[in-house]
Amino acid sequence: MLKKISAAMVGGLLLASTLAGCGGDDGGSGSGGGDDKITLGFSQVGAESGWRTANTKSIQEAAAAEGIDLKFSDAQGKQEKQIEAIRSFITQRVDVIAFSPVVESGWDPVLKEAKDAGIPVILTDRAVDSKDTSLYKTFLGSDFVEEGKKAGDWLAKEYQGKSDPVNIVELQGTPGAAPAIDRKTGFEEVIKTDPKFKIVASQTGKFERTSGKQTMETFLQSVKDIDVLYAHNDDMGLGAIEAIEAAGKKPGTDIKIITVDAVKDGMTALSENKINFIVECSPLLGPQLMQLVKKVKNSEEVPTRILTEETTFTPEQAKAALPDRKY
């Protein structure tokens, strides 16, 4: 599976460099400061997690490799800041706008402004809930519902044949964010089929380590018998591990832990059996994004939805994958 992913990624890179070698665009529409370089305005969520850091690096490196002029803006987790950044990209008349929406709702007005200005928009990583899908060209990212289901499937298998109640606590991502909503939905869809599974507490840890730790502390104080922690990302799981250890319990043994992402720190904890299972969510979206940017700039057709290829990891698989893990 890993081999498949690397092969797919190498394929993407090769295709991207072939495109770059074809002499770029004709300079037609965009500003880009007078030359025919494509200008991409990108608004990032923030720097809340290891996933996000790897995602930012992937986008910056891919833009540099493709000779795309990247205007990068960090929204520090705030939707208002993202809207401001998108408006400023429109004023600057960039060729293409891409962004990873902090939350799902509330984008229609600014997306309409971009459309009216004739600037194509690409959603990366997270989706929006706009009814009008003509407001953006495509969405590149993971299927978060599927990720939640994979987490639930692992749990169902782990407790197969047992009938005692299983008390689950859940650390949710940023309220209103697509991965928080969908990872919850997918997980619940699977576990609701067996009444022994109960989510006894569920609160946000904002996709951050410190917040994950704090919320886990409250869970440990308020819930008597926690069997399982489901954290919507590695960072919150890693914060929770600190809280569990401080409470004198053994993470991975006294409390089973499932997380999502598979960043290096998460994979390390998994290989040490402090986490029991990780659902992968790939942050390496840069190369594919740059190809899409070139295509929409040239008014070429692009698929409306592009899914990221992903796997899952057990402790043994994490041990095997760690030496080559880039992020």
Question: Applying CB under 6 A, what is the total number of residues that bind ligand GYE?
Answer: 13
**Residue 54, SS3 per DSSP:** helix
Stretch of residues binding ligand GYE (CB under 6 A), selected from 46-54, 159-167, 188-196, 265-273: 46-54
Q: Judged by CB under 6 A, which stretch of 10-18, 47-55, 238-246, 306-314 contacts ligand GYE?
A: 47-55
313 binds ligand GYE (CB under 6 A): no
Per the rule left: phi > 0, alpha: psi between -120 and 50, beta: everything else, 169 is: beta
Q: Which is nearer to ligand GYE, 130 or 204 (CB)?
A: 204
Q: Which of 52, 213, 274, 297 binds ligand GYE (CB under 6 A)?
A: 52
Burial code of 158-191, b = ≥16 C-beta within 10 A, e = fewer? ebeeeeeebbbbbbbbbebbbbbbbbbebbbebb
CB-nearer residue toward ligand GYE: 228 or 281: 281
Grouping H, G, I as helix, E, B as strand and the rest as coil, residue 240 is helix
Within 10 Å of residue 248's Cβ, how many Cβ atoms? 8
- Tell me which of 39, 41, 48, 54 binds ligand GYE, using CB under 6 A: 48
Q: Stretches 49-57, 184-192, 239-247, 296-304: which one binds ligand GYE (CB under 6 A)?
A: 49-57
- Rounded Cα distance, 121 and 307, in Å: 17
Q: Rule CB under 6 A: is residue 260 a binding residue for ligand GYE?
A: yes
Region 176-195 residues binding ligand GYE, contact defined as CB under 6 A? 179
What are the tokens at 304?
């409306």
Using CB atoms within 10 Å of the CB of residue 263, give its burial: 0 to 12 exposed, 13 to 18 middle, 19+ buried: buried
Choice from 39, 43, 44, 49 touching ligand GYE (CB under 6 A): 49
Q: Interface residues for ligand GYE in 116-175 (CB under 6 A)?
A: 125-126
Stretch that binds ligand GYE, among 7-15, 48-56, 64-72, 284-292 (CB under 6 A): 48-56
Residue 30 vs 179, nearer CB to ligand GYE? 179
Which residues contact residue 177 at a Cβ distance below 8 angstroms, ignoring those fewer than 6 apart?
Answer: 101, 102, 103, 104, 126, 207
Q: φ and ψ at 302, to 5 degrees?
A: -130, 150
Give the strands of the sheet with 256-261, arranged side by side.
Answer: 197-204, 166-172, 228-231, 256-261, 277-280, 312-313
CB of 91 to ligand GYE, least distance (A): 27
Tokens of 21: 């070698």
Q: Which is nearer to ligand GYE, 140 or 200 (CB)?
A: 140
Question: 38 or 54, CB closer to ligand GYE?
Answer: 54
User: Among residues 95 and 208, whose Cβ is nearest to ligand GYE?
Assistant: 208
Instruction: Spell 64-81 as b/e; 16+ CB within 10 A means b.
Output: eebebbbbebbbebebeb
Q: Which is nearer to ligand GYE, 90 or 241 (CB)?
A: 241
x-marked contacts with ligand GYE along 233-252 as a string, rule CB under 6 A: x-x-----------------
Q: Binding residue for ligand GYE (CB under 6 A) from 39, 43, 44, 51?
A: 51
Smallest Cα–Cα separation from 188: which of 163, 204, 168, 206? Answer: 168
Query: What's the rounded Cα separation, in Å, for the pair 196 and 82?
Result: 42
CB of 295 to ligand GYE, least distance (A): 23
Chain residues that interact with ligand GYE, rule: CB under 6 A: 48-49, 51-52, 125-126, 179, 207, 233, 235, 260-261, 281
